[in-house]
Amino acid sequence: MSLIDGGWLDAVPVEPAIALGADFVIAVDVSREISEFEEPRSGLEIVFRSDSITRYALSDERARRADIILAPSIRNIHWADFSQSQQAIDSGRQETLLHLDAIRRKLRRKLWRQRLSGRRQRRSRVTLGT
């Protein structure tokens, strides 16, 4: 299942994934770093800066419930630039491969904890590979 809202409501939708029954959540955070402070030239710039800070802090807080957080480097890609989608996909793939061992390790640990605690297994199967 994929959850996509474009990041407007919840840039890293960990809670909705858990509420829908996810046992293991891999969050992908593509939010941007907050830019260096520049003296605002208008009230509107202050509002935009406040919104950026709030979104960044909220995404960071919500992502903490995930089992793994991936943060692919997409700094050079504007959110509305769909001409660079392959670059974004490649960046996500690289980030995943970089953390694949950690993903497998945490998933195995979580599955063992569930088995030891006697939690009922879900119907879906997870293949960890070798």
Q: What is the 3-state secondary structure (H, E, C) of the chain?
A: CCCCCCCCCCCCCHHHHHHCCCCCCEEECCCCCCCCCCCCCCHHHHHHHHHHHHHHHHHHHHHCCCCEEECCCCCCCCCCCHHHHHHHHHHHHHHHHHCHHHHHHHHHHHHHHHHHHCCCCCCCCCCCCC
Within a domain: 122: no
Report yes or no on 123 lying in a domain: no
Is 8 a member of any domain? Answer: no
Q: Residue 127 domain-assigned?
A: no
pLDDT at 25: 93
Structure confidence at residue 96 (pLDDT)? 95
Asked whether residue 72 is assigned to any structural domain, the reply reads yes
pLDDT at 50: 84
Regarding pTM above 0.75, the answer is no
Number of folded domains in the chain? Answer: 1
Tell me the pLDDT of the chain (130 aa) as tens digits. 655 555 666 778 888 889 999 989 999 888 766 667 778 888 888 888 888 788 777 777 778 889 999 988 887 777 778 888 888 889 999 999 999 999 999 999 998 888 888 865 554 555 555 4
Residue 83 inside a domain? The answer is yes
Domain assignment of residue 45, given as a range: 14-117
Residues 6 or more apart whose Cβ sits within 8 Å of residue 81: none
Instruction: For residues 95 and 72, give the distance between their C-alpha atoms in angstroms, rounded to a whole number.
Output: 5
